[in-house]
Structure 1
Amino acid sequence: MSAGLERTPRTLLVSDRSSFQHEKNRLSSQVEQLHFNYKVSVLLPECSSAPSHLDTAFNSFNSFYLIRDLPTYELLDKHFLEAAVYQGRVSGLSYKTRLDEDNSVALMPNGHLTLSLDKDSFELLGVEGKPSRFNHRTNRRYVVTVDLTHSSMAPGGRGHQRLIAGLKSRLQLRTDFLLSHHPGGGASLQALLSRYDWSEHRPEISSCTLTDLSCPALLTSDLQSCDPHRFLEWLGAVDAHVSCDNSSSSFLSSLVCPEPKTTLGRALSVSVVGLLLPQDVHHLIEQIRCHLEQPRLESWAALTVHGFVDSPVSWGGAEHGVLRGGENFYSLLMFHDHTYHLHLATGAHDTCPR
């Protein structure tokens, strides 16, 4: 085994406790900070099927588009800028590009375009950028960030023409591209879609009912004894359908449920996968809160949101780095009394979420 694999990579974890009813709670802004969500997982104890209002919330996530072989310069098209970008109605991400090896592209709802480029591509493009924060001994990657809403990037302006020229004649960057329109913004994409091979996708929903599930004794929001790392490890194991029983006959997993623990007779695990908007995640959180207001045996629910591993940005507009894992996710543990625990996590090659 190589020396690099013998050591567990360093991770960053920021934990916060607050109440939805606290006027200074920052949950809404923190949800908005993770722009490119790949997967949302929900765990509902003592539940075998989702109530109708939660089922509606799972199915109300907005659709998204996959555009094949899209030239990046199309994101600077005058009509696309005016109809979509300036209105704050779109976000997009290059698809199946590996952040540590390939050129990657991200378009954020605030109009910021980020290109993560290898050294040769950066030099070909010929525009201003900066070395990646995650270079080691030599500058092998560069990041170009452009505010497409700035006056200097207005169509026909010097900055706009220079970037267009670089992407058309020198670098000619093309990728498969995921594009999500915010509510009311679908029509703004039709001119772009008409020029390329594209397909529309609904987020994929899967669910399963778990029985006799070992679970930390989360009976109140005063959860002092459970270490956040162990709790997240358990929650991830449940989502991945990995047993935490750690029986002597099993050599697949040494994971155990944190103490003190209890056993849930049943629990519902639901996942939604796609290019998911933060607004849809926030709506789901509100519906889970309504669910928790109903009288029931258990008074908590857990939601975990995973960002794309190979997104050039993670929290806010901060650069995202990949070497071994590329994690960027948060877990929200909600209680019936409107309090919550929020855990924001990244791998070693990322800035600290906040």
Structure 2
Amino acid sequence: MFQNLDKCARHLVVSEKSNLKNNKSRHRKHVQAHHYNYQVSILIPECGVIPPGVSAVCKTLGDYYLVKQLRLHELLVPEFINKFVRQGSLYVLSYNTRIDQDNCIALLPTGKLVLSVDKDTYEELGLEGQPSTYSHKTAVRYNVTVQLRDATFVPGEKRYNRVLWALKEKKPLTFDLLMTWHPSGGEEASLASYFMDYECKLYQPTLSTRVIRNLDCPVLLSKELKGKDSESCSSQEFLEWLGAVFSNINCNNQADSFLSTYCCPWPSTVLDKASLYTISGFIIPEGINLILDQLRLYFEEPKLAQWVSMTVHGFADSPVSWGEREHGYHKGGENLYNFVLFRNQDYWLHMAVGTHSDCPP
């Protein structure tokens, strides 16, 4: 029963340190490149109430839609492309599909449509694609990409006609799709009005707050990302501790009769209280950058806290992770990043993915 315990799945954590005031800081770029997010968790030490500015932004992250059983070729209609794909940023992701078993799709805000399909579907479609990076000796999954913003992707052109025929007649595909649209300005169109012939439900992100009392907390120093200094824990240890806090796990276990225990990394201190604010839904990067802006303002007035943390979880079954990098599911579908913002405007950024994903940027 225990023969495979020594074979742990590989995971990748890429870390970097910078300052929010640094002109070369890439924090916004990294946030903007992580397109599909379902949860944001904010942890603020020595705080019993989430700051009003942060709370206000979280309540205005924007609506999103779930369109049921949409025929995929509807996304190729010129009116749809001109109204939504070419204007602003449109985020579309298949819902309740499993990246290791089902056909999945994502429409990136760049206008690129990504299809992650099984071998049978790929052969039936007859479209040009590439084997999944994570296939074994015999490819079982393929990725097909279509650039909807391409100037030549219009009715009458060979590529457009071929893709439309494949998705409408040769191998019609239908999905439940999560959608949200961030307009670039001008007249705002409505996704709900456009998909009136389908079941289209409107949703808003949900918010929850938990105040944690007497929390064992590691000591962090902004200069010590790797934790080489005995006065600060490492970034890896901090991420493990953060996961325990989010999961409401006791961080002060004693090695009594338990098979396994977990203790807060050393050096540590005890917080009188900490606020954990969680936002769940279909959350786009534009909204996350607004939250980040508010968190960096938190230290403009004197605070007991030395740092604040924001963790963003991506969808486990998204076909992409960062940018257009392929994301695959192995055991947990890890696909997340974490910011630790310090009082002096320094920050740590950790980007983590699981076994079947390209390395974060």
TM-score > 0.5 by shorter chain: yes
Q: Show the 5 A alignment for 1:75-86.
A: 75-86=75-86
Q: Contact (CA 8 Å) 1:80, 1:189: kept in 2 or not?
A: no
Partners of 1:134 and 1:177 in 2: CA distance: 25
Distance verdict in 2 for CA 1:253–1:81, change over 3 Å: farther
CA gap 1:332/1:250 in 2 versus in 1, 3 angstroms: farther
Correspondence for 2:209: 207
- Among 242, 247, 263, the alignment partner of 1:256 is 263
Contact 1:88 1:111 in 2 (8 A): no
1:21 match: 21
Per the TM alignment, residue 271 of structure 1 is displaced from its structure 2 partner at its CA by 0.7
1:1-354 matches, cutoff 5 A: 1=1, 3-4=3-4, 6-183=6-183, 187-218=189-220, 220-223=221-224, 224=227, 225-248=232-255, 251=258, 254-354=261-361
String of CA shifts for 1:200-234, please: whole Å, max 9, x gaps: 0001111100000000112x423334222211010
1:189 shift after superposition: 1.9
Can you give the 5+ residue segments of structure 1 that lack an aligned partner in the other structure? none
Following superposition, the deviation at residue 239 of structure 1 comes to: 1.1
- TM-superposed CA distance for 1:7, in Å, is 2.1
TM-score computed with the length of structure 2 as normaliser: 0.94
Residues 4-52 of structure 1: CA deviation (Å, up to 9, x unaligned): 5542211111110100111111111011110001111100011111122
Do the aligned partners of 2:88 and 2:181 also contact (CA within 8 Å) in 1? no
**Runs (4+) off by over 6 Å:** none
Question: Match for 1:194: what amino acid?
Answer: M
Partner SS state of residue 318, structure 1:
coil
SS at match of 2:248: coil
SS at match of 1:341: strand
SS at match of 1:151: coil
Which sits farther off after the overlay, 146-155 or 80-89?
146-155
Residue 137 of structure 1, CA deviation: 2.1
Render the CA deviation track for 1:158-212: whole Å, top value 9, x for unaligned.
2111111111112211111000111468524244321200100001111100000
In structure 1, how many angstroms separate the alpha carbons of the residues matched to 2:103 and 2:292? 34
**Structure 2: where are the runs of 5+ without partners?**
none
Q: Which amino acid aligns with 1:41?
A: S
Aligned length: 353
**Counterpart-to-counterpart distance in 2, 1:322 and 1:277:** 21
Against the structure 1 CA distance between its residues 194 and 250, is the aligned structure 2 distance closer, same or farther, given a 3 Å change threshold?
A: farther
Cα distance in 2, alignment partners of residues 293 and 247 from structure 1: 39
CA contact (8 A) 1:11 1:346 kept: yes
Change (3 A) 1:334 1:253: farther
In the alignment, the residues of structure 2 paired with residue 33 and residue 124 of structure 1 have an alpha-carbon distance, to the nearest angstrom, of 32
Question: How many angstroms does 1:2 deviate by?
Answer: 6.5
How far, CA to CA, are the matches of 1:138 and 1:239 in structure 2?
39
Paired residues of 1:88 and 1:110 also in contact (CA < 8 A): no
The more displaced of 60-69 and 220-229 is 220-229
The one-letter amino acid paired with 2:94 is: S
Cα deviation, residue 63, structure 1: 1.1
Distance in 1 (alpha carbons) for counterparts of 2:48 and 2:206: 19
**Residues 243, 253 of structure 1: 8 Å contact kept:** no
In angstroms, what is the RMSD of aligned CA positions?
1.6
Tell me if the contact between 2:255 and 2:261 (Cα under 8 Å) persists in the aligned partners: no
Offset from partner CA, 1:308-332 (integer Å, 9 cap, x none): 0000011111111111121111110
Question: TM-score w.r.t. structure 1 length?
Answer: 0.96
Q: Would you say the 8 A contact 1:292–1:301 is kept in 2?
A: no
Do 2:316 and 2:329's aligned partners in 1 also have CA atoms closer than 8 Å?
Answer: yes
